Structure 1
C-alpha cells in the first residue's frame, strides 16, 4: 500500500498534464499522439495500483471506479488505433466489463442508500454513464460503424471521459468539501456539455 499510493498519485498527476497537452495540441500531430500515449500508460498505472489498493482496503466503490476509469482510456486508445472498426476479443471483454461495472455501481448505490451513505449519488451517476457509454461502444463494435468521423467521436468521448475521472479524483482527494459527492459529480456536469459540443463539431 505504501508503494502503490505514491505511484498512483504520480501517474494521476502526469495523466492530467498529458490530457491537457493532448486536448490543446493539434490532432494527429506528434505532440498529440505522444501525450495521448503517455496519458494512456499513466491510466494503466493508475488502474494497476487502484485495483490492489481497493482489494486491500475492501473498497468496492474504488474497485468499480477503477474499472470504469480505465475502460474509458482503453477504449479511447483502441478507437484511435483501430481504423477499420472491427472489434477484437479484447474490445468485447472490455466493453462487457464496463457495462457490468455500471450495473455493479447501481447495486452498490442501493446498498449505500439503505445505509444513508450519500455516495449513492455518484454511484448512480457513474453507473448510468458506464452503461450508456458502454452500450454506445457496444453498438459501434456490433455494427462496425467506428470508422471515419464516428471513430474520432468515440475516441474523443472516451478519452475526455477518462480525463474527467482523473480530474474528479484530484478534487476529491485534495479539496475538502461537504457533501463529498459534489466533487464526484461536478466535473462530469461541467465537462460533459463540452464533449457533446465537441462531438457535434466532429460529426458535422
Structure 2
C-alpha cells in the first residue's frame, strides 16, 4: 500500500504540473501535445493505483471516483486523437462504464436518505456530472459529430474535467474544509463557468 500510495502521489503531482503546462502553452503545438500526453499517462497511473488500493481496502467510493476521473482524461485524449469522429469499441465501452458508474453513484448517494453525509453530497454531484457527460458523449458517438470545432471543444471540456479531478484530489488531501464535502466540489464550482465560456469561444 505504501508503494502504491507513493506512486499515486508522484503521478498526481506530474499530472497537476503537466495540465498547467498544457493550459499555458500554444494549443496544438509540440509543447501542448507533449504536456497533454504526459497528463494522460499520469492519469493512467493514477487510475490503476487508485483501483488497486480501492479493491484492497474495499473502498467503493474511491473506486467510483477513480473510474469517473479516468474517463474524463481518457475521453479527452481520444477526442484529441480521433479526428474522423468515428468511435471505436473502446469509446463505446468507456461511455457505458461512465454512465453506469454515474448511476451507481446516484444509488449510493441516496442509501442513507433522508440523511445526507459528505460522501452522499459528493456522489450526487459527481454522479450527475458522469451521467450528463456520458450521455452527451454517447450522442456524439452515435451521430459521428465529434469533428472540427466540436471535437476540439469536447477535448477541451473533458481534459479540463480531468484537471479538476486532480486539483480536487490535491485539495481534499491537503486542506481541511467545513463542511467536508466542500473540498470535493469546490474546484468543479469554480472551473465549470470557465469550461462553459471556453467551449463557447472555441465553437464560435
* Kept in 1: contact 2:80–2:155 (CA 8 A): yes
Deviates more, 1:37-46 or 1:104-113: 104-113
Provide the rounded CA distance (Å) in 2 between the counterparts of 1:128 and 1:116.
16
TM-align CA RMSD: 1.0
In the superposition, relative to structure 1, how do residues 115 and 53 fare at CA in structure 2: closer, same or farther (>3 Å)?
farther
Where does residue 168 of structure 2 map in the other structure? 168
Q: What is the CA deviation profile of residues 61-84 of structure 1, one whole-angstrom value per residue up to 9, with x for unaligned ones? A: 110000000000000000000000
Give me the whole-angstrom Cα distance separating, in 2, the residues matched to 1:32 and 1:185: 27
Equivalent positions of 1:3-82 (< 5 A) are 3-82=3-82
Q: Does 2:93 align with 1:83?
A: no
Q: 1:123 to 1:142 in 2, by over 3 A?
A: same
Give yes or no for contact 1:113–1:120 (8 Å, CA) kept in 2: no
Unaligned runs of 5+ in 1: none
Deviation track 1:72-104 (CA, whole Å, cap 9, x = no partner) reads 000000000000000000100001000011001
Q: TM-score, normalised by structure 1?
A: 0.98
Unaligned runs of 5+ in 2: none
Partner Cα separation in structure 2 for residue 31 and residue 148 of structure 1: 21
- Across the two proteins, how many residue pairs are aligned to each other? 204
User: Normalising by structure 2, what TM-score?
Assistant: 0.98
Q: Distance in 2 between matches of 1:105 and 1:22?
A: 30
What is the distance in 2 between the residues matched to 1:163 and 1:112?
Answer: 30
Q: 1:112, CA displacement in angstroms?
A: 4.2
Distance 1:129 1:162 in 2: 12
**Structure 1 pair 8–155 and aligned structure 2 pair: CA distance change class (3 A):** same
- 1:155 aligned onto 2:155: yes
* Consecutive aligned runs of 4 or more in structure 1 exceeding 6 Å deviation: none
Indicate whether 1:107 and 2:107 are aligned: yes
Given that 2:69 and 2:165 are in contact with CA atoms closer than 8 Å, whether structure 1 keeps it comes out as yes
